[in-house]
Structure 1
Amino acid sequence: MAWRRFFDTNRRQMPSLFNGVGISKSGIKVPQGFFTTKSSNLLPSPSSPSPLKSSIAPIRGSLTALTNAFKAMRNPGVLKLTITKRFNSLWNRYGNRGWPSSARPNRLDLERLKIPLIFTAVLLLTMPYVVPVLFKFPPLSFFTHHPPVLVFTLMAINAAVFLMWKDYRFLKYLMRYGLLKSHNVGNPVTLLTSTFSHQSFMHLAFNMIVLLSFGTSMVNMIGPSYFTQLYIGSGVVASMFSLVWSVLKGAQVASLGASGALFGLCLFQTYFFPNQGVYLFFIPIPMPAWAVFSGISTMNVVGMFARWGGYDYAAHVGGSLYGLIYAYFFSKKTRETRKRYRNSPVWWSY
């Protein structure tokens, strides 16, 4: 009965593939040569991108896998070719969904990454020296004595930029600096400024709830200077990952949002407190942070290929990796500082 329903359903959707197939009481009758059809005729053309339709994998293509399986069992020598064709089929269907893409990035696309890479490298290398000095002078020195206010200030900046998107007078500037465009990075500063832009109110609200939940405790733990370096660094590296992934896929996308920076904060805190209880939305049961963000990180990596919804999964992965790397070096520096103070002589004064 399962095979009967399978053929009935797919015969209505793809009548040309089931030409000559009949169903009787004795079973399913197929014409000679049905399972020896060349799989290349059933695969979509690489030059024609598949439109974005659903987040669930369609049934179409199951017949191709079945045909390839029969061929591989009859002749093991074609197994490698079958796996290669199947991978190419999945890549064309999910890896490039809805985007005009090319087989490989050309030289011009790679040249576009030069200036953003230089900007990212210079920013990451200079922040450890510049940011601590800036927090010694007003108005940033205020955050040294009131660390949680820095988190509320970041939330206010994100909210202000969101309101500016609603005013047409700022639209020209926000389209230039508030969006990260993979096909036209006119100004590398958008690697940072695009992290303060949000597409909708729900997008903004969700990110700000995460920032409030993790940011207030973290800024008290590591201080406003290190917190700023982590937040900005995670956001910029997330944007850089998004650019590199788009160029490798030959895609043209625009990205915005603070999700990459927030993933950096979450993975940083998970590194030091892996068993800390984390509440997910609509789930009133706390779960270990390592389990929650391991699952989310896995979904982000898979989402880079499957392209579920309109999310920038590459930016999420980039921000998460930077948060873990920053946590490792921060932990190493903290241990060295403690060791240095333990070995130094202690002077008591009265």
Structure 2
Amino acid sequence: MLNLSLVTVVIIAANVIASFKGFEDRLFFERYKFNVGSIKRNEHIRMFSSGFLHADTTHLLFNMLTLYFFANAVIVPLGNFNFIMIYVASLLFGNLLSLYLHKDEYWYSAIGASGAVTGILYSAILLQPNMSLYMFFIPIPIPGYVFGIGYLLYSIYGMKNRIGNIGHDAHFGGAIGGYVITLLLKPSLFETDLFHVGLLAIPIIILFVMYKMGKLS
């Protein structure tokens, strides 16, 4: 069992409390979820508050378990304050990308900590690219950087094809946040592990090129 830091416990508790409040109080849920039309009416708190609401207990559990497993991989090398910075920045990056890509869809709504959690996951992979990850359907360990690249390529596919009721753009934006802030906090990675820094940038470059070519719509 991982020895969680206090900051991780507080973030998980905040997600649980806000999410269960949202389950029981529909007005609370509607008031604080991500919604393009409401944000354009200057309800900017939704850019942050939506990251603590979830659709159901399964959604909440999946995000919090992911955070549980990867939090220490970021906290140990970078510290609690920087961990919080990456978490919040990834949450906001995810919602900013969603807002930008759906700016004309005033009805578009989203909730969940996925952007923030994906940012922590991508930060952990950047810091430990050869960490072993296990997937339910693959019997062998996968290097972290392979998983990270594959996950973001799938996110691009999901964004382009609107697959499922999933905020693929928030996941991708969160990963960009985790990637950028981690490199700003630890620029020595450019010297010690430029190869993996470059590899993990590939999906971000692909998304940028696809957007410029108009292939995301």
TM-score by length of 2: 0.79
Alignment RMSD (CA, Å):
2.1
| Aligned residue in 1 for 2:14 | 157
Give the share of equivalent positions with the same residue, in percent: 25
Which structure exhibits the higher relative contact order, with contacts defined as CA atoms closer than 8 Å and separated by 6 or more residues? Answer: 2
Aligned to 1:38: none
Kept after mapping to 1: 8 A contact 2:23/2:29: no
Quote how far apart the aligned CAs of 1:217 are: 3.2
Q: 1:203 aligns with which of 46, 59, 63?
A: 59
Are the structure 2 counterparts of residues 166 and 147 from structure 1 closer, same or farther at C-alpha, using a change threshold of 3 Å? Answer: closer
Q: What is the aligned length?
A: 187
Structure 1 counterpart of 2:34: 180
Deviations along 1:297-329, one digit per CA (max 9) or x if unpaired, are 001011111011001111111111111111221
5 Å matches for 1:82-161?
A: 148-161=5-18
3-state DSSP of counterpart to 1:247: coil
CA contact (8 A) 1:241 1:315 kept: yes
Structure 2 portions without partners, runs of 5+ = 192-217
State how far apart, in whole Å, the 2-side matches of 1:182 and 1:166 are: 21
Report which of the two structures shows the higher radius of gyration computed on alpha carbons: 1
What residue number does 1:191 align with?
47
5 Å-filtered alignment, 1:186-335, equals: 186-247=42-103, 250=105, 252-332=107-187
- Letter of the 2:102 partner, please give it: S
Cα drift, residue 269 of structure 1 = 1.6
Name the amino acid aligned to 1:153: V
- Counterpart residue identity of residue 210, structure 1: T
Q: Which runs of 5+ in 1 are unaligned?
A: 1-145, 337-350
The answer as to whether partners of 2:47 and 2:92 remain within 8 angstroms in 1 is yes
The answer on whether the counterparts of 2:35 and 2:106 sit within 8 Å (CA) in structure 1 is no
State the alpha-carbon separation in 2 of the partners of residues 294 and 335 from structure 1: 18
Distance (whole Å) between structure 1 residues aligned to residue 145 and residue 48 of structure 2: 28
Q: Would the aligned equivalents of 1:219 and 1:227 in 2 still touch at CA under 8 Å? A: yes
TM-score (norm 1): 0.50
Task: For 2:180 and 2:45, locate their aligned partners in 1 and report how far apart those are by CA, in whole Å.
Answer: 23
Checking the alignment, whether the CA contact within 8 Å between 1:147 and 1:220 is kept in structure 2 is: no
| Corresponding position of 1:77 | none
